[in-house]
Chain A
Amino acid sequence: MTRRSELRGGLRLEAHKALPLRHPVVQLPAPRTVVLALDQGSGQESEPAVRPGQAVRIGTTVAAQHGAAAALHSPVSGTVREIAPRPTLRGTGRCIVIDNDGRDEHDPALLPCDWRSLAGEDLLERIAAGGVAGLGGGAFPTAVKLGLARRTGVELLLLNGAECEPWICCDDALMRERAADVVLGAEVMLAACGAARCIIAVEDDKPQAIEALDAALATAADARLELRSLPAVFPLGAEGPLVAAVTGREVPHDGLPPQVGVVCQNVATAAAVARLVRDGMPVVSRVVTVTGSGVLDPANVEARLGTPIAELIAACGSCADGERRLIAGGSLTGRALDDDAVPVTKGLNCVLAATPADLPRRGAEMPCIRCGDCATVCPARLLPQQLHRAAQLDDVEALARFGLGACIECGCCDYVCPSAIPLTARFRAARERQRLRDLERERAAQAKSRYERHQRRLAEQAEAEHRAFDEARRRARGDSSTGTGR
């Protein structure tokens, strides 16, 4: 069901994007060793397709797509050293370690394709083979998403250039410099998913990106493509709020955007698709914002996948003195990092080296005073104050009634809470408990049915034995009765 829906809630945050955007995207030299995490950000690992000692070139497939993990390609030419656990964004994960021979030779199998002559299904295959994944942060395989959209029959391809996190500006830089790629990628994706039109949604605090896209759209002269500017409100870049703001439709809580005729893709993903069809180059690098007062010269850098974050920071001039926090992603939804050795992945859009001046620490937690500021900013229209109470009591029924499942973990409620309650973390924990409980219940149900089947089998067996015994006795009696000659 669809109903008209406006964006509600959200935060107007002060942007910190000017410094990295002062200069064009910096091409970072390839590191001597790349560490390719099999989990590029989607939470699942791809299937390694190389062995230690094997020679690879730029673009050689090193891991095959596996579920929600897209195919992975070597970003350098060289030799596979090992496939081993290494520190990654999510703690530790299996990585393919490749020693760079410095020659930067391309795999000869990489060929551009004439996408206009390809059928939608073939294009999807091509996009899957090129390892294209959600570069907005989700790193979900683009071909899977577009394929689902194609099968569902969506009407609208929504390109997400909102980029609402206050520190991240890699998409902004990319739209300014590669607007033509974004537009070409949009056309290719339209052909792949079968949608009738495409809206490129950009927040209105990016006038230069909007100008560049306007020019690229004029050149492309494709009437199906349209540029839409949106108010700069966090978290408009999240899928649900974005769909609501652009189309007025709401994604059902138990569904996906294709159910309301929309498929969302990030603008950087579109540019990656363009590069794939035009140059034959799979995703082997990405633009990352390196920013915060912990670096001397914040910049957007294009880094090969597998480059350690430490090298990104070093390239921007690390100022190591004083306390600083490393965050992968934005200040609201990013992940705190313990280790600067973790490698760049497809899902990494920003490295924030924040000093206490950038991100003041939150104060001591106080009791909730039910002020309701959290409800005012919640884009999912939840009542976080009520959810919080339910989470504290672990009241399953209340958690469901107040819509725990609809929380998108944007962090807006935390941001405004005068009592400094870590609401988002509490909700995530409550969800985890819920998941474990569901798992437990499922396991119990399985065990119960197994036990019942076992009991039934035993009963049947006993019954059969009983019958066999009776039968045998009757037969024996019959035999004896015939023996007595009555």
Chain B
Amino acid sequence: MSSPAAAPPHVVAGFTVPRVMFQVLAALVPVAAVHVYLYGPAILWLLAVGGVSALACEAIALRLRRRPSRDSLRDGSVLVTAALLALAVPPTLPWWLLAFGIAVAVLIAKHAYGGLGQNPFNPAMVGYAVLLVSFPLEMTRWPAPGGDWDAMTGATALDTLRTSLRQSYTMQEIQAGPAFGHIGATGGEWINLAALVGGVYLLVRRIVRWHIPVAMLAGIAVPAALFHMFDPGAHASASFHLAAGATMLGAFFIATDPVSAATSDRGRLVYGAGIGLLTWIIRTWGGFPDGVAFAVLIMNLAVPLIDRYTVPRIYGHAG
């Protein structure tokens, strides 16, 4: 009648890593849906290619590392990586390039460091960065929403903004261009809105805690607002930055990857704010169209340092 003695606690909430991961995937559905609406069904093809190649890479890596593959394949983490990368690249990207990015993300960024829970860098962003520096042309040509790809592929709003500002156009002139929508970029603003909806879902379901998204959005919005206030002709507004590029996707889905983020609440505020600030700096003065991927990777580097100096005061210990 008795069973072997087990250590307490004898009860757990039963919330598991796979459930976390599948909630994240569910929260990405609005983004994918808006993507389809704006750019056509190409994203579904990319998501499928990304998912399959990610699972294949995971299986290969686990086999090479001689790890049991069934549970790890089912935990869903690799599908989140694939979905984030697929949604971050232009829908015109050749499928084999995406597969290459996924291979870099899963094989090198994740498994070379020891697999789930061990990677110091966000795998999806490593994949994105490698693709961006290796294939800059393919990675920066976004189609105009709802249009014919061959005719309409061109620079994004963030791209246009940077190049035009260097040619001494004013903000007012630039924003009259076709790449700009109501607040952010045409299309891009709807993607950001969808990511915000998914992000709020994650917050409500307590999959993600508020510290990183809020800090990152503040890290972008505060400097953007300040510079826009003092020099509105040369700097885009905070609302433009919040509704352009990968801001919302980054804040709620990418920067919140817990494995590569700082781990205490205070640390996450620092980490998120750093990503936001770096994103804005790279967008404003850098050479790449969007800064989220590099900002995340740079702050990944800083995580051990942040973690070291943000240990909370323990109960019963003096400040």
Contact = CB atoms under 8 A, between A and B. Distances in A.
Interface of A: 1, 3, 5, 240-241, 244, 250-255, 320, 323-327, 329, 331-340, 352, 354, 359-360, 362-364, 366-372, 375-376, 379-383, 385-386, 401-403, 406, 409, 411, 414-420, 422, 424-425, 428
Given A354-B10, A382-B314, A367 B118 contact: yes
B264 interface: yes
A250 B317 CA distance: 8
A351 to B, nearest CB: 13
A334 B10 contact: yes
Contact of A320 (B1, B117, B259, B316): B1
Contacts of A369: 17, 20, 77, 116-117, 258-259
22 contacts: A244-B315, A252-B316, A255-B316, A323-B3, A331-B10, A336-B5, A336-B7, A338-B5, A340-B1, A340-B2, A359-B10, A366-B117, A367-B117, A369-B259, A370-B117, A371-B258, A383-B312, A402-B311, A406-B315, A418-B15, A418-B20, A419-B17
B11 interface: yes
Chain A contact residues, majority secondary structure: loop
B233 interface: no
Contacts of B319: 3
B2 A415 contact: no
B262 to A, nearest CB: 9
B40 to A, nearest CB: 35
A400 B215 CA distance: 30
A367 B10 contact: no
Interface in B275-319: 307, 311-319
A334 B8 contact: yes
B207 to A, nearest CB: 9
Interface in B8-23: 8-17, 19-20
A3 B316 CA distance: 9
Interface in B104-156: 115-118
A425 B318 CA distance: 27
A417 B1 contact: no
B12 A367 contact: no
B315 A332 contact: no
B12 A417 contact: yes
Contacts of A362: 12, 14
B7 A425 contact: yes
Given A370-B258, A371-B20, A381-B315, A411 B9 contact: yes
Contact of A366 (B12, B17, B259, B265): B17
Given A366-B71, A372-B209, A420-B16, A406 B8 contact: no
A434 B59 CA distance: 39
B315 A327 contact: no
A376 B312 contact: no
Nearest to A360: B14
Contacts of B12: 360, 362, 414-417, 420
Given A336-B10, A369-B117, 20 more contacts: A5-B315, A244-B315, A252-B316, A253-B316, A320-B1, A325-B2, A326-B2, A332-B9, A338-B4, A352-B10, A360-B12, A366-B16, A366-B17, A367-B118, A375-B263, A376-B209, A381-B313, A383-B264, A420-B12, A422-B7
Contact of A383 (B11, B19, B117, B263): B263
Contacts of A333: 8-9
Contacts of B89: none
Given A383-B312, A406-B314, A372 B264 contact: yes
Contact of B315 (A376, A380, A385): A380
Most buried by A among B6, B12, B15, B258: B12
A250 B318 CA distance: 10
A337 B6 CA distance: 9
Interface of B: 1-17, 19-20, 71, 75, 77, 115-118, 209, 258-259, 261, 263-265, 268, 307, 311-319
B258 A415 contact: no
Given A326-B2, A370-B258, A383-B263, A1 B315 contact: no
A381 B71 contact: no
A9 B107 CA distance: 37
A230 to B, nearest CB: 17
A59 B71 CA distance: 59
Contacts of A368: 117
A381 B265 CA distance: 11
B8 A335 contact: yes
Given A366-B17, A368-B117, A380-B315, A331 B258 contact: no
A250 B117 contact: no
Most buried by A among B1, B5, B75: B1
Given A372-B263, A380-B314, A424 B9 contact: yes
Contacts of B13: 415-416
A418 B316 contact: no
Nearest to A334: B8
B115 A367 contact: yes
A272 to B, nearest CB: 26
Enumerate the 7 nearest inter-chain pairs by beta-carbon distance, A residue then B residue, closest first: A411-B9, A367-B117, A253-B316, A425-B7, A403-B314, A332-B9, A380-B315
A359 B11 contact: yes
A417 B209 CA distance: 15
A161 B10 CA distance: 23
Given A370-B117, A370-B258, A406-B317, A416 B264 contact: no
Given A323-B3, A401-B311, A386 B263 contact: yes
Nearest to A320: B1
B273 to A, nearest CB: 17
Nearest to B20: A418
Nearest to B317: A253
A132 B146 CA distance: 80
Contacts of B71: 364, 366
Contacts of B265: 372, 375-376
A334 B11 CA distance: 10
